[in-house]
Amino acid sequence: MLRAIIVDDELLSVKRLNRILSESGTVNVCRTFLNPLEALDYARENPLDIVFLDISMPEIDGMSLSARLRAHDKEIHIVFVTGYDEYAVQAFDMNALDYLMKPVTAERVARTLERAGSKTAVTVSESLLSIRLFNGLQLHRQDESRSLLRLRSPKTEELLVYLIYKGKVSREEIIDTLWGGFEPEKAHKNLNTTLYYIRKTISESQLKNPINAYRKEIWIEEEHMDCDLYEFKRLVKQIRQEQGISALNLIRQAEDLYTGTFLKSKGYEWAIAQSRQLEREFIELLELAGKHYSESGQSNPALHYFEAILKLDPLREDISLETIRIYIANGRMNEAVRQYRSLEQMLKQELGTVPDPRIAAAIRNVDPLALSL
């Protein structure tokens, strides 16, 4: 689909053209603008295929705006939209794609779009950027090739990940987080340059661009990428609204996604709190599944989830007790004792305490001498 913006200081004209373009099925109207200066800022930071410009506008007329847009991107298609035909010759002298008279009609716009399609050399790929943030960082194409994407530098990686993590964020917050301590002018330049290289890599890989940038904010279009973090959050929200088998099936999906700590080994300070929060949410899901299976007498799946919790949080005495009870019930006394000793050692080292007496009692009730050594 052609990526487009509409620039016109008449709101009714904008609405009419927006409706016609949206109904065409071949155009994605990214934004509409009543202010040409705002449109220019947007076009400088977002890839576009075609721009529909009113000619008579305050501050910058359509002709001047067209020249500035072409200076930024010589491949962009310009379509002038006006209520006066005296500009036609001048418009085509500027190599405009087309010249539409108001009020525009769907039939006339269709001919313009046919011309734009025939002149557009770049084929828009349907492939998405796929990013995995659990257990490290991996970027690749979401297609049969699954080819890896390599960004220019560690900073381009960090900026992309931060944008994905935040979803929508102000430029000032990005600068404070990633370029804190820099002079404002240099920090803004670093942000713009780094963002440029991210988008360049995505464009050269013929992937849909998920990043939108404007003067004060940058945001991610989630539907234009495949991200394990977004899918995990969606599952957590859905699980909290489900019960029984449906919830358990969703927990299994979440377990497949959570392959390790969020951004493991990347060392981003801003990611520490999010990493802990995601781990807590994952443990809650494991505990929900473990208790469900335990209460329904299904010891093997219950044990699977309890053991998974202890790998992430080995100091959980309540989960250790549940695990030891299952070991005992299945005649695995040696493993019950081993789990108790492991908990005992960690509590002593980390907290200077001893396990809950109920845990030892559960073992001694079966074998009074099991903990005597």
| Ordered DSSP codes for 244-262 | HHHHHHHHHHHHHH--SSB
* CATH 3.40.50.2300, the chain: domain bounds: 2-119
Q: What percent of the chain has pLDDT over 70?
A: 94
Of the candidates 268, 338, 180, the residue with the CA atom closest to the CA atom of residue 323: 338
Q: Which CATH superfamily is domain 2-119 in?
A: Response regulator (3.40.50.2300)
**Does 89 score more than 50 pLDDT?**
no
**Do residues 62 and 56 lie in contact, with contact meaning Cβ atoms separated by under 8 Å?**
yes
CATH code of 129-226, in short, is: 1.10.10.10
* CATH 1.25.40.10, the chain: domain bounds: 230-364
Ranked by mean pLDDT, which of 51-55, 305-309, 362-366 comes out on top?
Answer: 305-309
**Does 296 score more than 60 pLDDT?**
yes
pLDDT digits (tens, 9 = 90+) for 226-272: 999 999 999 999 998 887 788 899 999 999 999 999 999 999 999 99
- Predicted confidence band at 123 (pLDDT cuts at 50, 70, 90)? very low
Give bridge partners of residue 136 from the DSSP assignment. Answer: 262
- Supply the angle between the helices 272-295 and 228-239 in degrees, to the nearest 10: 40
pLDDT digits (tens, 9 = 90+) for 12-26: 999 999 999 998 888
What backbone torsions phi and psi does residue 79 show, to the nearest 5 degrees?
-120, 120
**Does 206 score more than 90 pLDDT?**
no
Element (H, E) at 144: none
Name the region of 59 (left: φ>0; alpha: ψ -120 to 50; beta: rest): left
| pTM to 2 decimal places | 0.69
Fold assignment, 230-364: 1.25.40
Residues near 69 by Cβ (< 8 Å), separated by ≥ 6? 40, 43, 51, 76, 78
Using only C-alpha atoms, the chain has a radius of gyration, in whole angstroms, of 29
The tokens 């796929």 sit on which residue?
130
User: For residue 373, what pLDDT is reported?
Assistant: 57
- DSSP tag of 58: S
- Based on the number of CB atoms within 10 Å of its own CB, is 58 exposed (0-12), middle (13-18) or buried (19 or more)? exposed
**Do residues 318 and 291 lie in contact, with contact meaning Cβ atoms separated by under 8 Å?**
no
pLDDT digits (tens, 9 = 90+) for 208-227: 888 888 778 899 988 888 99
* CATH 1.10.10.10, the chain: domain bounds: 129-226
> Starting from the edge strand earliest in sequence, which strands make up the sheet with 129-132, in order?
138-141, 129-132, 225-227
User: For residue 125, what pLDDT is reported?
Assistant: 45
